[in-house]
Amino acid sequence: MALAAFQKDSPPARGGARIALLDAALALVRRYGWAATSVEHLCRAAGVTKGAFFHHFESKEALGVAAARRWTEVTTPLFANAPYHRHADPLDRILGYLDFRRAIVQGPLEAFTCFAGTTVQETFAASEPIRVACGDSISGHASTLEADFDEALRKYPAPEPLTARSLALYTQTVLQGGFVLAKAQGDAGPLLDGIAHLQRYLQLLFNPGRKP
């Protein structure tokens, strides 16, 4: 999931300017924030001219929308091919997902925090298109957990009325909050603690009905 900070010594391959700009946005915004990442900063990091930027994007806002979609494109295969899908039991898959999230917490903060979450915090009141695109990215990732939560609820009935959708979104609430606190403290500890607490909560929630 970690994406290198982009600092190119030569222009991207022919036809690659758009992707280079989007990938530069994913790296730079997670490190510096949306407002501090200028068009000039993006062009320099991607190794393209300002003219090339405006050839592909009519505005920085348009790039932000496309970058949120790009974030989904580059992260989806990482999770789709992760080992937690191999578990036969749905609760083991969910807990394995959280183990995987913990395992990829490596390197500097910008290497494992979320582009969509970072961007929407700055832009939610200023740009409706970016807000929607980032929201789609976060909720879309949450939806990949719904089938496992639905199966777990059917196999191990929980002691309170819940839905698979609400539980899937709750996992993202914990993760996104963990990203914010990790950045606030300059340390991954709050995120790792949040994941561990979430795992304990889910085990307590489902274990009353789970056979040993």
**Helix, strand, or coil here: 4?**
coil
Q: Consecutive sets of 10 residues in the chain, 212 residues long: mean pLDDT of each? A: 43 75 97 97 96 97 98 97 97 97 96 97 97 98 97 88 95 98 96 98 81 51
**pLDDT, tens only, 79-124:** 999 999 999 999 999 999 999 999 999 999 999 999 999 999 999 9
φ/ψ of residue 98, rounded to 5: -70, -35
Q: Transcribe 185-196 into DSSP letters.
A: HTSSHHHHHHHH
pLDDT for position 4: 41
CA 22 to chain centre: 15
Q: Transcribe 114-169 into DSSP letters.
A: -HHHHHHHHHTTT-HHHHHHHHHHHHHHHHTTHHHHHHHHHHS--SS---HHHHHH
Q: Which two tokens stand for residue 19?
A: 């992707």
Domain boundaries, the chain: 68-209
Of 142, 194, 191, 197, the residue nearest 170 (C-alpha): 142
The CATH number given to 68-209 is: 1.10.357.10
pLDDT for position 158: 82
Q: Which two tokens stand for residue 190?
A: 């709050």
